[in-house]
Amino acid sequence: MLDDFVTFGRSGLRVSRFALGAFNFGGSQGWSLDPASAHRLIARYRELGGNFLDAANSYGGGEAEAIIGDYLAAEPHARDRLVIASKFGSNTRPGDPNAGGAGRKAIMQTCEESLRRLRTDRIDLYWMHLWDPFTPMDETLRALDDLVRAGKILHVGLSNTPAWKVAEAHWVAQARNHMPIAGLQLQYSLMERSIEIEHVPMAQAYGMGIAAWSPLRNGALSGRYRKARPDGHDAEGRAVFVGRALNDRSDAILDALIAIAARNGVTPSQAALAWLRVQPALAMILLGAHTVEQLSENAAAATLHLPPEDIATLDRISEPNIPYPGDFARRAIGTVSGGTRINGITAPPGAGSPSQGAAKG
């Protein structure tokens, strides 16, 4: 079911279209999984054919990586068959300014700590978890390239980073012959489509893959939560996350999603994942399941194909507001093309500005 692999960005790294996220492995939150439960999820994920585990140095206070490391130690042949990803950047030692961020010292320390917890000699894909405004990008990229050359990490990615900073990283890496940015990990779902404005076209232009986190908007797209029923928002202690996602716009999206799911005989979660899977530039979807049953249900979206009219309905109802200059650029297509069809796109001439019109003569 999950043995549909793609190469991530312009790299040769083969990854499952659906990855297993370890955000809820370890820790003491309402959504936290103990090691035995997490190991059952990994085992089921592998049975379904998946090969990508995504962790971070901060997940579960470091326990997530240790849980994965214990699994790998108990399954000696699993390491080479799995793609192990982790992240740096989050500070896990309050009061120590060099324990977080993207400076050289922090990266080297964090990588060594992650390798020890994961019980492995390399991390297949190492993400910068978030942008560090205090560190020059060239310092970050040089440190990562040194880790690549040392064989401690194999590929590099950026997460939760502004598009202009990703573009800088791409060109610095190109100019200095550093390991290129393979892809981006970004929040993306029917309820959060902001990345389509800048990140998606940039990823397409630069050959970067996109991995979507929170594809069900913290569970809001499961259909179990509604704005009018706040008493049911606290499943697994996630009320603060679910509450942020629910508003009048989300209600309209959920109404359409639930109707489409019922018409196709699937769950709202499966329909939401099926819509996301066909979005441009998307390489991978991170599943954050709490139970084996939930993982199996969500994984079934890998083979679900919604009718084109249902995809179009979900596109329309969830369309993001596009600020200037992105909105101007889209309206100006007709001014550029003169109303002709280019690369499958047709727009009326002179649509960029009310002051523009067809020239006389």
Which of the pair, 232 or 87, is modelled with greater confidence? Answer: 87
**Residue 96 corresponds to which amino acid?**
D
User: Quick one: 136 and 61 in the same domain?
Assistant: yes
pTM of the model: 0.91
Note the pLDDT tens digit of each residue in 4-15.
Answer: 999 999 999 999
Tokens found for residue 281:
């530039």
Question: What CATH number has the domain bearing residue 159?
Answer: 3.20.20.100
The Cα–Cα gap between 239 and 71 comes to 31
Q: What is the pLDDT of residue 29?
A: 86
User: Quick one: 193 and 311 in the same domain?
Assistant: yes
User: Quick one: 93 and 211 in the same domain?
Assistant: yes
Q: What is the pLDDT of residue 244?
A: 72
User: Quick one: 304 and 331 in the same domain?
Assistant: no
Q: What is the pLDDT of residue 354?
A: 45
Note the pLDDT tens digit of each residue in 294-306.
Answer: 999 999 999 999 9
Q: Which residue has the tokens 């799911």?
A: 261
Tokens found for residue 250:
């989300």
Note the pLDDT tens digit of each residue in 96-154.
Answer: 999 999 999 999 999 999 999 999 999 999 999 999 999 999 999 999 999 999 999 99
Tokens found for residue 131:
């942008």
Residues labelled catalytic: 59
Q: What is the pLDDT of residue 30?
A: 85
Note the pLDDT tens digit of each residue in 303-319.
Answer: 999 999 999 999 999 99
Beta bridge partners of 286: 19
For the chain, give the percent of residues with pLDDT over 70: 92
The Cα–Cα gap between 305 and 277 comes to 9
Element (H, E) at 124: strand 123-128
The answer, yes or no, to whether residue 283 has pLDDT greater than 50, is: yes
CB neighbours of residue 112 within 10 Å: 12
User: Quick one: 159 and 252 in the same domain?
Assistant: yes
The Cα–Cα gap between 327 and 164 comes to 18
CB neighbours of residue 49 within 10 Å: 15
Q: What is the mean pLDDT of the chain?
A: 92
Compute φ and ψ for 48, nearest 5 degrees: -75, -10
Cα 234 from chain centroid (whole Å): 24
252, 256, 262, 263 alpha-carbon torsion, rounded to 10°: 160
User: Quick one: 310 and 210 in the same domain?
Assistant: yes
User: Quick one: 250 and 312 in the same domain?
Assistant: yes
Tokens found for residue 81:
């068959």
User: Quick one: 271 and 285 in the same domain?
Assistant: yes
Mean pLDDT of 57-76: 96
Which of the pair, 55 or 345, is modelled with greater confidence? Answer: 55
Asked if 77 and 46 touch (Cβ cutoff 8 Å), the reply is: no
Half-sphere exposure of 234 (CA within 13 A, CB side): 5
SS (H, E, C) 32-77: CECHHHHHHHHHHHHHCCCCEEECCCCHHHHHHHHHHHHHHHHCCC
The answer, yes or no, to whether residue 358 has pLDDT greater than 50, is: no
The answer, yes or no, to whether residue 236 has pLDDT greater than 80, is: no
Asked if 126 and 88 touch (Cβ cutoff 8 Å), the reply is: yes
66: containing domain: 5-317
Across 187-201, 245-259, 317-331, 344-358, the highest mean pLDDT is recorded for 187-201
| pLDDT tier at 232, thresholds 50, 70, 90 | low
Q: How far is CA 239 from CA 121, 234, 244, 246, in A?
A: 38, 4, 9, 11
The answer, yes or no, to whether residue 33 has pLDDT greater than 60, is: yes
CA-nearest of 302, 130, 283, 125 to 203 is: 283
User: Quick one: 339 and 276 in the same domain?
Assistant: no
Secondary structure tally for the chain: helices H, strands E = 14, 12
User: Quick one: 351 and 272 in the same domain?
Assistant: no
User: Quick one: 108 and 241 in the same domain?
Assistant: yes
Which of the pair, 338 or 236, is modelled with greater confidence? Answer: 338
| Overall domain count for the chain | 2
Which of the pair, 170 or 323, is modelled with greater confidence? Answer: 170
The Cα–Cα gap between 37 and 211 comes to 24
Asked if 182 and 157 touch (Cβ cutoff 8 Å), the reply is: yes
| pLDDT tier at 336, thresholds 50, 70, 90 | confident
User: End-to-end CA distance of the chain, in Å?
Assistant: 60
* Structure letter (DSSP) for residue 178: P
The Cα–Cα gap between 132 and 8 comes to 24
3-state secondary structure of 211: strand
Tokens found for residue 88:
């740096």
User: Quick one: 289 and 335 in the same domain?
Assistant: no
